[in-house]
Amino acid sequence: MDDRNTTGARSVSGGSETRTPRADAARNRDQLLTVATRVFMSADDEPSMRAIAREAGVGIATLYRHFPTRESLVDAVYEDQVVRLTSGARELLGRLPPAAALRRWMDLFGEWTATKNGMLDTLRAMVDSGRIAHAQTRTELLTAISTILDAGRTAGDLRADVTAEDVAAALIGIFTVAPRPAQEAQADRLLNLLMDGLRPATRPS
């Protein structure tokens, strides 16, 4: 991965000098973000920046060029995961029935909690310092859950008496006792049981 030609590149068109898009740098950053997320997700302890660079197949200087500090990398991974959860609710509802969308969203939530395990100390320090607004993140996630629950109530395939806070608390409990990826099979069983409880009761005919 070589970023030397991705910064400050210019082209001349029609006699005027214009800056070209830094597409290579953006792709490199996205690739590093993907690899870092995967490494954080599978790590028991916080991996070193060098380990992340090695997994990405780049030199440590390339990693630091995109993410000058561990905090900047953790912040980018965290924000990317939150965006996936908040936008994912709407995207899933666009192609799945609400109950199925909620079950798939639970998997996304599990991936997010697993990713946090590999950057927990840094994340806590950033929350304590105010760099990451934990309350805002919680509000965004509850809104995403509410979006699916509201659609489920309208469609009649999710209970009307369940709140987003109920679902969030249940998910935190499940992924605390059955963290991914180590206990993925148990987590899946518990999530399916949770979904059974979220569906309206069927009355015998």
Residue 3: Cβ-neighbour burial (10 angstroms; 0-12, 13-18, 19+): middle
CB 107 within 8 A of CB 87: no
Any idea what the CATH number is for the domain that residue 162 is in? 1.10.357.10
Residue 5 lies in a domain: no
Look up the pTM and report it. Answer: 0.78
Contact predicate 187/178, CB 8 Å = yes
- Asked whether residue 20 is assigned to any structural domain, the reply reads no
Q: What is the pLDDT of residue 69?
A: 93
d(CA 72, CA 74): 6
Reported as a pLDDT band with limits 50, 70 and 90, residue 23 is confident
Q: Is residue 135 part of a domain?
A: yes
* pLDDT on residue 1: 39
Q: How confident is the model at residue 18 (pLDDT cuts 50, 70, 90)?
A: very low
Question: Is 89 inside any structural domain?
Answer: yes
Percent with pLDDT over 90 in the chain: 60
Radius of gyration of the chain (CA): 21
Count of C-beta atoms within a 10 Å radius of residue 200? 14
Residue span of the structural domain in which 101 resides:
70-198
Whether 55 is covered by a domain: the verdict is no
Strand pairing category for 16-19 and 10-13: antiparallel
The answer to whether residue 174 is domain-embedded is yes
Q: What is the pLDDT of residues 139-198, one digit of tens each?
A: 999 999 999 999 999 999 999 999 999 999 999 999 999 987 778 899 999 999 999 999
Tell me whether residue 205 is in a domain.
Answer: no
Q: Within a domain: residue 27?
A: no
The count of domains in the chain is 1
Q: What pLDDT does 183 receive? A: 83
